């Protein structure tokens, strides 16, 4: 796996050029307790807040995006991600809301892969047929260490988790980092990084479930209007594992190249792939070159409030999951019951089951290399 680098202006250069405005509009950072895990580990919440009404709260349990507050066209703010109000609820209802998922996000068929002629067996924590999101205790279910937290023109917090060799069946000691950074342009940047001491596989992403109408909105998220710049998607088998082919979206219910409400075609049972996933739960093959400059991966808009979320990514794919398996058994942070279709995940990633599909982009990481996945959640409004 190659290392991706982006050339960005230094904060020092920006500060020197615009010292007074930056000093007046520094993004604030606050920290507070967020409860503890059943085994007594303290969990912390770090909130980044800019002067334009945007804030992001990240908790050390799972390096999880617990809240993302954004204004609508009239300036009224709302939290647009699903989540819970304390650490105990995240442990109890382990459904990945906002979590940093890894060591390998998404599914690996039969929970098995081969690396350098050795076969590794992972836990079958997805209906007994696949490994999902890193295993029984993936990265979203551990308390990460806060390595750095700072306010400024761009406020940020960096978490670290060291996954020992053999954890959840994966080879190599993996040192993973997750950095959340908020600026005054209403952009929340998430950067995942990882290094290893022996060959392994890596695919880390964020599993936020969005509703730009507002978390807990009575109408759910099916009225959110989605644009996906992808000409193809990955069809799946009965176990939701990609078959290995790429199918054109043209002429299908999977075509979101033009803005379309998520719920418009989600119950179209004439498409066997919709039936298999109980709706959308598929990898989209993004247009443009991966591993280089960030490009648009998805756009989500709420016509009623005017809120718009754009996701920029350097990854080859994005998993679109329409909350099909949210079953009404959990209560969210605002006291509302979460139901099917109440949130939409758009996860920049390498493709599911990539270790077993040589035609997919490689996910191998060797000693001396650095894994990177960077995404930007850009918040705007429309009329």
Instruction: Determine the pLDDT at residue 277.
Output: 94
Return the C-alpha torsion angle 146, 9, 195, 206, nearest 10.
60
The yes-or-no answer on residue 347 being catalytic is yes
Instruction: Determine the pLDDT at residue 25.
Output: 74
The yes-or-no answer on residue 25 being catalytic is no
Class of domain 11-381: mainly beta
Instruction: Determine the pLDDT at residue 2.
Output: 38
The answer for 305, left when phi > 0, alpha when psi is -120 to 50, beta otherwise, is alpha
Question: Active-site residue among 133, 161, 167, 207?
Answer: 207
Q: For residue 351, count other CB atoms closer than 10 A to its CB.
A: 23
Instruction: Determine the pLDDT at residue 143.
Output: 98
Instruction: Determine the pLDDT at residue 18.
Output: 34
Instruction: Determine the pLDDT at residue 9.
Output: 38
Question: Active-site residue among 168, 184, 215, 347?
Answer: 347
Instruction: Determine the pLDDT at residue 289.
Output: 84
Instruction: Determine the pLDDT at residue 290.
Output: 84
Q: How far is CA 276 from CA 54, 261, 281, in A?
A: 37, 20, 9
What is Dmax (Cα atoms) for the chain?
Answer: 59
Instruction: Determine the pLDDT at residue 26.
Output: 86
**From the first residue on, what is the mean pLDDT of each consecutive set of 10 residues in the chain (383 residues)?**
37 37 72 96 98 98 98 98 97 94 98 98 96 97 98 98 98 98 98 98 98 96 98 97 98 98 97 96 93 94 98 98 95 96 98 98 98 98 95
Instruction: Determine the pLDDT at residue 288.
Output: 87
Instruction: Determine the pLDDT at residue 133.
Output: 97
pTM score, two decimals?
Answer: 0.92
């Amino acid at each position: 796996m190659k290392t991706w680098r982006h050339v960005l202006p230094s904060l020092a250069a920006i500060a020197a050029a615009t010292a007074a405005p930056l000093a007046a509009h520094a993004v604030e950072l606050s920290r507070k307790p967020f409860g503890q895990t059943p085994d007594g580990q303290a969990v912390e919440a770090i909130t980044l807040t800019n002067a334009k009404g945007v804030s992001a709260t990240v908790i050390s349990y799972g390096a999880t995006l617990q809240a993302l507050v954004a204004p609508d066209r009239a300036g009224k703010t709302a939290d647009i991600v699903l989540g819970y109000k304390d650490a105990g609820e995240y442990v109890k209802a382990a459904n990945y809301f906002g979590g940093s998922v890894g060591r390998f996000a998404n599914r690996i068929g039969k929970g098995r892969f081969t690396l350098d002629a050795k076969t590794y067996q992972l836990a079958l924590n997805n209906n007994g047929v696949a490994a999902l999101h890193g295993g029984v205790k993936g990265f979203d279910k551990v308390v990460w260490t806060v390595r750095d937290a700072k306010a400024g023109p761009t406020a940020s917090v960096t978490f670290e988790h060291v996954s020992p060799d053999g954890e959840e069946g994966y080879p190599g000691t993996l040192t993973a980092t997750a950095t959340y950074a908020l600026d005054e342009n209403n952009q929340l940047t998430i950067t995942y990084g990882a290094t290893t001491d022996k060959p392994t596989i890596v695919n880390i992403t964020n599993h936020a479930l969005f509703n730009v109408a507002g978390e807990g909105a009575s109408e759910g998220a099916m009225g959110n209007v989605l644009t996906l710049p992808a000409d193809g998607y990955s069809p799946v088998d009965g176990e939701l594992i990609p078959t290995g082919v790429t199918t054109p979206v043209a002429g299908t219910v999977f075509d979101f190249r033009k803005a379309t409400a998520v719920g418009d075609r989600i119950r179209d049972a004439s498409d066997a792939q919709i039936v298999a996933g109980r709706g959308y739960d598929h990898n989209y093959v993004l247009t443009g070159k991966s591993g280089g400059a960030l490009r648009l991966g998805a756009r989500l808009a709420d016509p009623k409030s005017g809120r718009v979320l754009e996701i920029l990514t350097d990854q080859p794919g994005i998993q679109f999951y329409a909350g099909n398996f949210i079953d009404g058994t959990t209560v969210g942070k605002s006291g509302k019951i979460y139901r099917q279709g109440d949130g939409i995940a758009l996860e920049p990633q390498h493709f599911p089951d990539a270790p077993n599909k040589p035609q997919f982009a490689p996910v191998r990481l060797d000693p001396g290399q650095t894994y990177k996945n960077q995404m930007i959640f850009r918040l705007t409004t429309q009329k």
